[in-house]
Structure 1
Amino acid sequence: MGGLWYLSGSYLLRRCQSLVTTSLMVAIMGTLSSQRSPIESQMLSTWTFLDWTAYGFLVAMACSVLDHLDALMNTYPHLVTCDTKWITKMQNPLTHEYWFAMIQLVANLPAETDLNAGPIDDLKTAIRLLGPASRSWKTMAALFPVNLRQDLCLIYAFFRIADDLVDDAPTPEECRENLAIIRRFLREAFSNNDKVQQQPSNNIANDATLPNHINWTLYAELLPSEDVLSVFRSFARVAHYLCPRAMFELTDAWEMDLNGAPIRSQEELLRYAALISGTFGELCTCVIMYKTGRGNWNGADTVARDNTVLARARATGQCLQLINIARDVIADSLVGRCYVPLQYMSNPSTEYSMLKHSREPQQIGDHILKTYALRILDLSDQITDQAQRGINGLPEEVQDAIRAAFEIYMAIAPTLRNHSGFPLRTKVPKPKQQWIALRCIYGFHGPVARAIHSMGCRFLSAPRGLSAFIKLAPLPKKKL
């Protein structure tokens, strides 16, 4: 216990409530089992409640110390090495490289007060900036492992912040300037992937986790706020294992938004959805494969990278983006956006002008707007199977969490279809989100789960379901 306390004393203090609760549960269960077990054990039969408490406390401390060291190794990898290839090998706990890196970390472990708080503060800022509009994302992210959850949140935060910089600047000129700044930053972030951390001489506040080939002083002047700069710093820390091509395709999609050209056909809508969210799905796959020890999927390692899996991941993001577009037809119109293809409109010039320029979707009518949304949802249904196959290509340890996240967002479609009108923003009820997460995490997904859920809903919704069942059931024949 003294050795564990020496390694992670302050961390254990912050987790004291969990440690005490765990040790008491182990003590109660151990005492009861040793007293009631028919098998006599010379050691266990002599253990008192205090012995079981000490044992439970020791195991809980050991697990917490491992969590602490793993978090330090992921957040401050420069404490072990600055070589990105070696950092890639450190991601898999089943390899000797991981445990050798853990030993190196213990040997070079600094005091917690000597660690720069920049990475943690930037992570907190990124999560805070997601805001209430990302409620579905936060629900989905809670299902992922912690190290995977953090990096996915950082990338999603950068995606949201960059999208707002391009779309929500006061003038079109500023929007284009922001897009140019984002592209310049991405070129610098991806320009040096051999060393992820270097000497801290030129970094902000001597933060050794930041790549020092980026001119952070310049971006502190160009970006609108310290919060935005914080998200950019977080992205730079993980850029070494992301795919540059996918990120630059995202900027192409933002440029399409700036040009303001209408989407004319379903094919153009599918291409736009593939650019804006299909590439994001590919980036998420890079994160998942990297953090689960499957190698670097950023394009440099051709052995690890599987383009078939990435293509299906793009279909997953594409499918979710179509649902997002269908849900936000009215919300997009109110801010001067329209992603409904002209192919769907009976009078394209008039209806497009009402949605895009006049920003008066109510003039078209809820019925027609919902018709647009339903056609877009039907389009997403056509690629749902490919999206599901994409989930099956991911590591088994994350499949259930990803499938839960996917189905939580997919639940928007039936909620919108079953709504009597067309709400401004369709939301899936929280209990339904929790039910989807529960059944996916515990393996109840696919056609069987949907059939059971549908049958249960019909049975519970029928006010006289039980009486009708009794009437239809055959009665046993009486013996004469």
Structure 2
Amino acid sequence: MTSTNQIGSSSALEELNVRLCGSVRILPPEHHAVYTIPVAVVLSVVLKPLLTRLDLYKICFLITVAVIYTIPWDSYLIRSGIWSYPPDVILGPKLFSIPAEELFFFVIQTYITTLLQILLNKPVLFAVHLQNEALPASRHLLVKRRTGQTIFALLIGLSLLPQFRNAEGTYMKLIILWLRLKTWLVIWLPTLYLWIVDTLALKRGTWSITSGTKLGIHVWPHLEIEEAVFFLATNTLVAWGCFAFDNAVAILDAFPDQFSSVPGTPSPLLLIKSLLLPTSSYDQKRLQGIQKGLDVLAKKSRSFYLASGVFNGRLRIDLILLYGFCRVADDLIDDAPNAKEAQDWIDRFTAYLNAAYAKSESRQGLQTSLEGFPPDARSILELLPVDRLPPKPLYELLEGFKIDLRFSTQDENPIKTSADLKRYATCVAATIGELCLSLVYYHDTDHASGDDKKERCIAAGARMGRALQYTNITRDVTTDAKVGRCYIPAEWLRNGSLKTTSETDIVQLRKRILDMAFSIYSEERDAIEDLPSYARDGIRVAVESYMEIARVLDHRIQHGENLDFAGGGKKGKASVPKLRRLIVGWRAMSGIRGHTGDR
């Protein structure tokens, strides 16, 4: 009897709870304090150094969109009695019947998912993923798009089936209209986390879905299928919004012929205009050239590849193309089977620069100068932004290649004195620093720097480039010697030869060049802070990532370790492990320099 009464009493309490509370689907303040706000804070701290003005604009833009499109839907659910909120779990303020806690959830969920998407995709150059779908090679993309649209249409049709038209399918029907499944990590990671949070809330009775409006299916104990699909659907929409934003910006950045001027924070109208641009208008040749430049950067320089992810927009694309040019020239000249062919390549690059900087507006001369270049090299050279680069540093770069060539055409070391070493480093590296900063100032839409400051920064950038080259020389003494090159001045060596100089003396000479690098670095690193703000972090990451190699070498010299091991027992050039490079990059963007106080 007692047992029966207890059961009846329990059922009556459950029924009363349903009648009083209806559907309670909300994270009360204490749940936000425990589950969502800490995650948002952690992501904010990690991403703070990486966030650009465009990223902040993207976050605010997507939050605004999420709140606008969610309010009518949520308000309808509440007014229809599918969801309800008992007074004891909310603070009180409401907007269109939606409690403040629920409105805050729209914001915090979008914020977390958007931050995660930015973090996971920071290194991605979205421009290289654009495709002209009118080309035969890209037809598969059109098929994928049509398939996605078909799936979306089927989901809409599914939501209209009879079993979803009765009361039990009300909640699922409203959700499934929004859903087209994409298994991206940026979708599933926050979705799984919110499923767990939701499960804990449902288990504790914080909320429930009104009986008669749900399907009664559970993904796992206590997690209703409607709740699971809701979080998946909303995170999917946020992710789609993120990628749509990135896609729109990529179109604006990739095609200056279509969009001559792009502000730092493009208006929603301009974003929509870019998305409406037919893919048949995409310059596929330009996209392929950018892709080749990025491939070269990723393969040849891990430090500069890491730094490239910090730059934005057309500046990033131009820097990639500049590096591609330098790398292509270096590879073709250095890898030539003999001195004559190497000189032929230098002559070809000279003819190319002559044609590129010719006053005639005709491109015929430029196309003629590119004949004979390999296809991959040609696709990069055609895109070199010569209209934004001073010609002198590019010609001086070729002079540096001529110095290298003298190693194979003369019996003696062309680097005889400290002045020769400085001249060589100036040709092959200081020029790159000057060219990079020329692009930085060209893309400086704010024009906040005066001419005097600009000239000082460019001069400092050139000197910093020389410091990075000294680091290169210190690291590569052994590998350079194997191909008959020695950049240690002959006047420093015993009898002017590396072979007759002791290993101990060679280590000290390497340290001497390394000290020159650190001296320039300590003198010029503060000039980075005078650069335009939008490029400052990227330059800082590039410099600090490369100087970390110098710190590794310096540490080995001080501790008597072998300078010619990559690390982990592998013979080769000294390098910095990937995790350490990432930490150095993060610290650099946070304004923290290096790991050694005096270096």
- Fold-level similarity (TM above 0.5): yes
Which AA in structure 2 matches 1:383?
I
Task: Confirm whether residue 180 of structure 1 aligns to residue 351 of structure 2.
Answer: no
Q: Which residue of the partner structure matches residue 226 of structure 1?
A: 375
Q: 1:294 to 1:165 in 2, by over 3 A?
A: farther
Q: What SS does the corresponding residue of 2:526 show, helix, strand or coil?
A: helix
- Report how far residue 60 of structure 1 moved: 6.1
Structure 2 CA distance for aligned equivalents of residues 253 and 311 of structure 1 = 19
Deviation per CA, 1:128-168, whole angstroms, max 9, x where unpaired?
23464422222222332254333212211110110122222
- Report how far residue 169 of structure 1 moved: 1.0
After TM superposition, the structure 1 stretch with the greater mean CA deviation from structure 2, 248-257 or 211-220, is 211-220
Q: What SS does the corresponding residue of 1:77 show, helix, strand or coil?
A: coil
Structure 2 CA distance for aligned equivalents of residues 79 and 322 of structure 1 = 42
The within-5 A match list for 1:47-446 is 64-80=243-259, 87=260, 90-93=261-264, 102=270, 106=273, 110-130=277-297, 132-192=299-359, 212-216=363-367, 219-220=370-371, 222-223=372-373, 225-235=374-384, 238-260=385-407, 262-293=414-445, 306-348=454-496, 351-352=497-498, 354=499, 364-419=501-556, 420-423=561-564, 424-445=572-593
Q: What SS does the corresponding residue of 1:336 show, helix, strand or coil?
A: coil
Structure 1 CA distance for aligned equivalents of residues 434 and 274 of structure 2 = 37
C-alpha contact (below 8 Å) 2:348/2:369 kept by paired residues: no
Structure 2 CA distance for aligned equivalents of residues 289 and 366 of structure 1 = 45
- Report how far residue 292 of structure 1 moved: 3.7
C-alpha contact (below 8 Å) 1:281/1:317 kept by paired residues: yes
Structure 1 CA distance for aligned equivalents of residues 381 and 521 of structure 2 = 33
Which AA in structure 1 matches 2:592?
F
Structure 1 CA distance for aligned equivalents of residues 551 and 274 of structure 2 = 55
Structure 2 CA distance for aligned equivalents of residues 100 and 430 of structure 1 = 37
Structure 2 gap ranges (5+): 1-61, 75-84, 107-174, 179-229, 408-412, 565-571
Structure 1 CA distance for aligned equivalents of residues 364 and 268 of structure 2 = 29
Structure 2 CA distance for aligned equivalents of residues 67 and 130 of structure 1 = 22
Q: 1:213 to 1:394 in 2, by over 3 A?
A: farther
Size of the alignment, in residue pairs?
379
Deviation per CA, 1:30-58, whole angstroms, max 9, x where unpaired?
x9xx9966351223429698699788777
C-alpha contact (below 8 Å) 1:400/1:440 kept by paired residues: yes
- Report how far residue 63 of structure 1 moved: 5.7
Structure 2 CA distance for aligned equivalents of residues 149 and 58 of structure 1 = 28
Q: What SS does the corresponding residue of 2:301 show, helix, strand or coil?
A: helix
Structure 1 CA distance for aligned equivalents of residues 274 and 495 of structure 2 = 71
Structure 2 CA distance for aligned equivalents of residues 134 and 251 of structure 1 = 20
Which AA in structure 1 matches 2:99?
S
C-alpha contact (below 8 Å) 2:467/2:520 kept by paired residues: yes
Structure 1 CA distance for aligned equivalents of residues 358 and 325 of structure 2 = 18
RMSD: 3.9
- Report how far residue 108 of structure 1 moved: 11
Structure 1 CA distance for aligned equivalents of residues 313 and 264 of structure 2 = 14
Q: 1:158 to 1:141 in 2, by over 3 A?
A: same
Task: Provide the TM-score with structure 2 as the length reference.
Answer: 0.56
After TM superposition, the structure 1 stretch with the greater mean CA deviation from structure 2, 304-313 or 385-394, is 304-313
Larger radius of gyration: 2
Structure 1 CA distance for aligned equivalents of residues 392 and 325 of structure 2 = 16
Structure 2 CA distance for aligned equivalents of residues 305 and 439 of structure 1 = 26
Q: 1:41 to 1:143 in 2, by over 3 A?
A: same
Q: Which residue of the partner structure matches residue 207 of structure 2?
A: none
Structure 1 CA distance for aligned equivalents of residues 433 and 458 of structure 2 = 8
Which AA in structure 2 matches 1:246?
P
Deviation per CA, 1:290-326, whole angstroms, max 9, x where unpaired?
23425699xxxx9699221110110111110111111
Which AA in structure 2 matches 1:339?
Y
Structure 1 CA distance for aligned equivalents of residues 328 and 448 of structure 2 = 25
- Report how far residue 331 of structure 1 moved: 1.0
After TM superposition, the structure 1 stretch with the greater mean CA deviation from structure 2, 325-334 or 262-271, is 262-271
Structure 1 gap ranges (5+): 1-18, 81-86, 196-210, 355-362, 455-480
Structure 1 CA distance for aligned equivalents of residues 452 and 246 of structure 2 = 27
Q: 1:56 to 1:163 in 2, by over 3 A?
A: same
C-alpha contact (below 8 Å) 2:252/2:262 kept by paired residues: no
Which AA in structure 1 matches 2:527?
G
Which AA in structure 2 matches 1:106?
K
